Amino acid sequence: MTIESVLVGTPVVGYDLGGTREILRDGGGILIEPAPAAMASILGRLARDPAALRGLRSSAAERARSRAGVGDADRQWSRLRDALARERLR
């Protein structure tokens, strides 16, 4: 769900591991050490600091806008796939 959240502009807090690291390394969220205490700490900080949460939301929204072409590419691939399927049925 990390990539889906980033693509629609929802800020993400995730462990600095694997795919989450790849998705969030350029923005759209916060990477933290893989420990429950670290997660509790950052979520508590964001709950107490509305300005920080707004900044994270703004960053996520900007990341989503910069990735808007992803949906366009998906639609283009879908149209191509459909056209090839129609051609094959002829």
Domain locations in the chain as residue ranges: 2-89
The pLDDT value given to residue 70: 58
Q: Determine the pLDDT at residue 9.
A: 76
Is the pLDDT assigned to residue 35 strictly greater than 90?
yes
pLDDT of residue 48: 96
What pLDDT band is residue 42 in, cutting at 50, 70 and 90? Answer: very high
- Taking only the tens place, the pLDDT of each residue in 44-87 is 999 999 999 989 888 888 877 776 555 666 677 778 888 888 88
Nearest-angstrom CA–CA distance, 6 and 1: 9
Contact (CB, 8 A) for 23 and 35? no
d(CA 76, CA 44): 42
pTM over 0.85: no
What's residue 37's pLDDT?
Answer: 98
Of 24 and 7, the one with more pLDDT: 24
